[in-house]
Structure 1
Amino acid sequence: RYIDGTFVITNTTLTLENPNLAGFIKDMWDLYKGYSQAELAAATHLPGTPWTMVRQGRAENDIRVEIPDELIYDYFHKKVIEINKEKAEKQKQDQQPNC
């Protein structure tokens, strides 16, 4: 969490109660692992991201905003669905004979 201008680790244990969570995390890692710090910040601060949703109507310098875990999960879960759909479409195209 980001509290009063400082990153604070509030939970050091990752539990995988949902069996799909490991796949979700892998998909996110595969998507973002090649990003630089600047690219990652830019990608996660685009309109429609959890960051911009919670910042709406707040002062530019108000950094005491928490992003609910559910909002983060929902946003990135949709990303995973998009990625998996694109992969499936690509596999389908690759399996079609060339004419």
Structure 2
Amino acid sequence: DTYTGKRVVRLTSPDTVSHHEYFYYKMMSNDSRYLIYASAQGGQRNLYRMDLGNGDAVQLTDCKVNDFSACLTSDDRHLICSDGQSNFSVT
């Protein structure tokens, strides 16, 4: 970053839209090992968990709609989600 002098690293492919949920939702594990993010890979927006140590990502949801939000619980045991039609927990 030219303003801060910090190194910025792209974690996801520029070929698809990927983003963090709203800025105040907890999406990083307490040990900073995992990042939860939304991505439209394959055309459908779902949640993924990326291991920041090796860059591997695992799809966590299989939503049928694109409108949803999510937040990790304070103990990292559950990812609470809403897909616009229902609320659910990913453990």
TM-score by length of 2: 0.27
Larger radius of gyration: 1
More relative contact order, 1 or 2 (CA 8 Å, 6+ apart): 1
Higher strand share: 2
